[in-house]
Amino acid sequence: MTGTLINIVTVLIGGTLGMFFGARLPDRLKQTVTAGLGLFTIAIGLQMFLKTENSLIVLGALLVGALLGEWWKIEDGLQNLGRVLEQRFAGGEVGVSMGGSSRFVRGFLAASLLFCIGPMSILGSIQDGLSGDYNLLAVKSVMDGFAALAFASTLGVGVLFSVLPILVYQGGISLAAVQLSALVTEPMMVEMTAAGGVILVGLAISSLLEMKKIRVGSFLPALVIAPLIVALLGFLG
């Protein structure tokens, strides 16, 4: 859970700085930093993909994963979850009836959704649990730190409390992955990492650089399909 703990610390630091200094930062600086993080994420994703020993496995995992993801409507489900939570806790009527507390809830929910719902959070937590490799979560932590700074500058202290869902969600995935470590072989981990690298590139293009909208969430099943393909090929000899 090292990566999750790093993530929590960066969110607390970023959120605290945002509450005191975030409003003074110009928008162009925030946009440039976000673009830099997007480019770095692409580089990390390509580095992960290049570790593959069979690119066809990655391609097959992505295609099958996309079919399953669209069938299960994962991307739509994630978006609907965000809308439901926002309407439930931070809708128009809440702002009228709750006054200042709605700002707290909105900051908490917005930050929690951003930090927890995404391929990088899931893949990074799995890697951290399976192999102790927290590099991906460290990269995510830097991004979350800047995001927390931006959120806290406008939404206040509620952003800091998003560390609780991070601890439960990412920590839970990492602990679950530890239990599966005896079943996941090195080749399975390599191809899962490669598939995750492609997903990261899509995340950067879609969310950070905003070059083209990609339904990245629909590709998440590829993280499970890739090691299953490796296991199947090994069984078939």
Compute the mean pLDDT over every residue in the chain, rounded to the nearest whole number: 82
For the four alpha carbons of 73, 77, 83 and 87, in that order, the dihedral sign comes to: positive
pLDDT at residue 101 above 90? no
Name the range with the highest mean pLDDT among 32-36, 61-65, 72-76, 223-227: 61-65
Which residue segment(s) compose the domain that 34 sits in?
2-232
| Tens of pLDDT, residues 131-152 | 888 888 998 999 899 888 877 8
Which 8-state DSSP code applies to residue 18?
Answer: H
Q: Looking at the domain assignment, is residue 56 inside a domain?
A: yes
Q: Looking at the domain assignment, is residue 128 inside a domain?
A: yes
Percentage of the chain modeled with pLDDT above 70: 84
Q: Looking at the domain assignment, is residue 96 inside a domain?
A: yes
Q: Looking at the domain assignment, is residue 237 inside a domain?
A: no
The number of domains in the chain is: 1
31-35: long-range contacts at Cβ-Cβ below 8 A with a sequence spacing of 24 or more? 33/146, 34/146, 34/208, 35/208, 35/209
Residues in CB range of 88: below 8 A, 6 or more apart: none
Instruction: Report the distance separating Cα 207 and Cα 194, nearest Å.
Output: 20
Percentage of the chain modeled with pLDDT above 90: 28
pLDDT at residue 56 above 90? yes
Q: Looking at the domain assignment, is residue 225 inside a domain?
A: yes
Q: What is the pLDDT of residue 95?
A: 42
Q: Looking at the domain assignment, is residue 219 inside a domain?
A: yes
Q: Looking at the domain assignment, is residue 62 inside a domain?
A: yes
Give the mean model confidence (pLDDT) for residues 140-168: 85
Question: 3-class DSSP state for residue 117?
Answer: coil
Q: What is the pLDDT of residue 138?
A: 92
| Tens of pLDDT, residues 196-219 | 889 888 878 887 788 988 888 889
